[in-house]
């Protein structure tokens, strides 16, 4: 098979590159695609890109000789881990965590610890499970992402038209997301605005997000991207732990985790960004970050406003600290959105 080049059609606009390959070359494994991207054999408009690159009409995808064969077949071990009937089980599980569904949109309460997409060693992930809901050849598509360790509201487009409309709403900042976090310590101010640009850096423990600007001089690294977050204190316990409401105004990887750490209040359980200071004896060591509420325009008109209950580990911490999750807290005026 020679090197070929494919021009992106209008119907593939805003689709992730890895999903495009999954549709066009289903025999190509995710790990193999990642290797082709890392080595520059797959390119878009002559440039190296990542699996999550969003395609635009007219872009040209370079496709090397794929030599699909036994090396890309599903290993026997993985086949035994996805037994017959798993589609039915996946569908049943998704139904159990569904918060809202109509003909265009599905909203789920993602459990902490469940990856959104596949990767090295990841067999069970949300994107794969969504294929159990496939109807008439049109697969459900994730509109945004949550970290593996973050729980809460995540939206899925059930039709291509709905997915494109929701994706455009996210890009256009029409969507409002409210997160709840338990952090170690208390911010100096009860309300604040964090405006710290972020950059990605490789490290011994894998890639992490860091503040990419010198807070004294304002000088920024070349790969730095703007990142802004609003926060508000809802409650605190003996100045040791604080229940924070967070509203990201941008969507950078690990933005909330990096921002909370940067202001001296790491998220409870987030050792990657808070180190040993992120842990408190007697409390769960899981990350205490939850996507509590999503307010977004519906593709057919009007708005959806969905809330997700806390995961078990955060609910237990709330009970121990005396935080009342039933309290009607709307520190950012989300109730006015769309009215």
The pLDDT of residue 71 is above 50: no
The CATH number covering residue 192 comes to: 3.30.2350.10
Are residue 184 and residue 51 in the same domain, yes or no? no
208 beta partners: 201
The pLDDT of residue 37 is above 50: yes
Q: Please give the C-alpha separations between residue 291 and each of 41, 153, 154, 311, 315, in angstroms, as whole numbers.
A: 37, 5, 8, 10, 14
Q: What is the chain's mean pLDDT, rounded?
A: 84
Q: Which two tokens stand for residue 34?
A: 């990642």
Are residue 297 and residue 243 in the same domain, yes or no? yes
Are residue 154 and residue 252 in the same domain, yes or no? no
Express each pLDDT in 180-200 by its tens digit: 999 999 999 999 999 999 988
Cβ distance 291 to 179 under 8 Å? Answer: yes
Could you tell me which residue, 163 or 220, shows the higher pLDDT?
Answer: 163
Are residue 227 and residue 97 in the same domain, yes or no? no
Express each pLDDT in 105-138 by its tens digit: 999 999 999 999 876 566 788 988 998 887 666 7
Task: Say if 305 falls within a structural domain.
Answer: yes
Domain C-terminal end among 129, 145, 171? 171
User: Is residue 147 flagged as an active site residue?
Assistant: yes
Alpha-carbon distance of 314 to 152, in angstroms, equals 11
**Which pLDDT value is given to residue 297?**
93
Are residue 148 and residue 225 in the same domain, yes or no? no
The pLDDT of residue 89 is above 80: yes
Q: Which two tokens stand for residue 339?
A: 């009215």
Task: Say if 78 falls within a structural domain.
Answer: no
Could you tell me which residue, 9 or 55, shows the higher pLDDT?
Answer: 55
Residue 108 CA to chain centroid, in angstroms?
A: 13
**Which pLDDT value is given to residue 88?**
84
Catalytic one among 90, 147, 149, 270? 147
Are residue 286 and residue 218 in the same domain, yes or no? yes
**Which pLDDT value is given to residue 77?**
39
The pLDDT of residue 338 is above 60: no
Q: How confident is the model at residue 66 (pLDDT cuts 50, 70, 90)?
A: confident
Q: How confident is the model at residue 322 (pLDDT cuts 50, 70, 90)?
A: very high
Domain C-terminal end among 67, 98, 119? 67
Task: Say if 77 falls within a structural domain.
Answer: no
Range of the domain at 316: 176-331
Could you tell me which residue, 193 or 26, shows the higher pLDDT?
Answer: 193
pTM as predicted: 0.73
Which range (24-33, 172-181, 211-220) has the least confidence? Answer: 211-220
Q: Which two tokens stand for residue 123?
A: 């067999």
Query: For the residues of 288-322, what is the DSSP string, one character each?
Result: -EEEEEEEEE-TTSSEEEEE-PPPHHHHHHHHHHT
**Which pLDDT value is given to residue 182?**
98
Number of neighbouring beta carbons within 10 Å of residue 40:
12
How confident is the model over 268-284, as a mean pLDDT?
95
Could you tell me which residue, 105 or 86, shows the higher pLDDT?
Answer: 105
Per DSSP, the three-state class of 131 is: helix
Determine whether 132 is exposed, middle or buried from the number of CB atoms within 10 Å of its CB (0-12, 13-18, 19+): middle
The CATH number covering residue 45 comes to: 3.10.290.10
How many domains would you assign to the chain?
Answer: 3
Side by side, which strands form the sheet with 60-63? 4-7, 60-63, 43-44
How confident is the model over 68-75, as a mean pLDDT?
41
Query: How do strand 241-248 and strand 228-237 relate by DSSP bridges?
Result: antiparallel
Task: Say if 233 falls within a structural domain.
Answer: yes
Task: Say if 72 falls within a structural domain.
Answer: no
Are residue 42 and residue 110 in the same domain, yes or no? no
**Which pLDDT value is given to residue 74?**
39
Are residue 260 and residue 197 in the same domain, yes or no? yes
Are residue 250 and residue 308 in the same domain, yes or no? yes
Q: How confident is the model at residue 7 (pLDDT cuts 50, 70, 90)?
A: confident
Share of the chain above pLDDT 90, in %: 49
Are residue 232 and residue 259 in the same domain, yes or no? yes
Q: Which two tokens stand for residue 84?
A: 């017959």
Task: Say if 302 falls within a structural domain.
Answer: yes
**Which pLDDT value is given to residue 205?**
57
Domain C-terminal end among 150, 171, 192? 171
Task: Say if 338 falls within a structural domain.
Answer: no
Task: Say if 205 falls within a structural domain.
Answer: yes
Could you tell me which residue, 10 or 324, shows the higher pLDDT?
Answer: 324
Query: For the residues of 69-81, what is the DSSP string, one character each?
Result: SGGGSPPHHHHHH
Which of these, 298, 253, 292, lies nearest to 272 by C-alpha position?
Answer: 253
Q: Which two tokens stand for residue 302?
A: 């009007």
Alpha-carbon distance of 57 to 10, in angstroms, equals 5
Start-to-end CA span in the chain (Å): 56
Cβ distance 313 to 112 under 8 Å? Answer: yes
Rounded CA Rg of the chain: 21
Query: For the residues of 228-263, what is the DSSP string, one character each?
Result: EEEEEEEEEETTTEEEEEEEESS--TTHHHHHHHHT
Are residue 92 and residue 58 in the same domain, yes or no? no
**Which pLDDT value is given to residue 80?**
37
Residue 315 CA to chain centroid, in angstroms?
A: 21
Cβ distance 231 to 192 under 8 Å? Answer: yes
Cβ distance 132 to 272 under 8 Å? Answer: no
Length of the chain: 339
Could you tell me which residue, 338 or 144, shows the higher pLDDT?
Answer: 144
Are residue 188 and residue 322 in the same domain, yes or no? yes
């Amino acid at each position: 098979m020679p090197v070929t080049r494919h021009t992106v059609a209008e119907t593939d606009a805003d689709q992730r590159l890895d999903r495009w390959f999954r549709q066009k070359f289903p025999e190509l494994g995710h790990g193999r695609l990642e290797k082709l991207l890392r080595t520059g054999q797959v390119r878009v408009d002559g440039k190296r890109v990542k699996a999550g690159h969003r395609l635009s009409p007219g872009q040209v995808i370079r496709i090397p000789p794929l030599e699909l064969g036994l090396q890309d077949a599903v290993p026997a071990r993985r086949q035994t881990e996805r037994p017959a009937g798993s589609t039915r089980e996946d569908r049943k599980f998704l139904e159990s965590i569904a918060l809202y569904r109509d003909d265009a949109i599905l909203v789920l309460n993602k459990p902490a610890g469940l990856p959104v997409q596949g990767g090295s060693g990841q067999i069970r992930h949300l994107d794969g499970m969504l294929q159990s809901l496939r109807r008439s050849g049109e697969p459900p598509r994730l509109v945004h992402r949550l970290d593996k360790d973050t729980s809460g509201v995540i939206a899925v487009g059930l039709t291509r038209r709905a997915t494109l409309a929701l994706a455009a709403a996210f890009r256009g900042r029409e969507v409002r997301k409210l997160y709840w976090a338990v952090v170690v310590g208390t911010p100096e101010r009860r309300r604040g605005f964090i405006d710290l640009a972020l950059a990605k850096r490789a490290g011994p423990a894998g890639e992490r997000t860091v503040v990419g600007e010198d807070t004294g001089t304002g000088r920024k690294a070349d790969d730095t991207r703007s990142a802004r977050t609003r926060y508000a204190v809802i409650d605190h316990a003996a100045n040791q732990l604080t229940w924070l409401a967070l509203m990201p105004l941008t969507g950078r990887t690990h933005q909330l985790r990096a921002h909370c750490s940067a202001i001296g209040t790491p998220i409870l359980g987030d050792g990657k960004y808070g180190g040993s200071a992120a842990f408190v004896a007697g409390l769960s060591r899981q990350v205490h970050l939850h996507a509590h509420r999503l307010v977004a325009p519906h593709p057919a008109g009007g708005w959806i406003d969905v809330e997700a209950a806390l995961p078990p580990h955060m609910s237990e911490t709330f009970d121990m600290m005396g935080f009342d999750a039933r309290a009607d807290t709307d520190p950012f005026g989300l109730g006015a959105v769309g009215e």
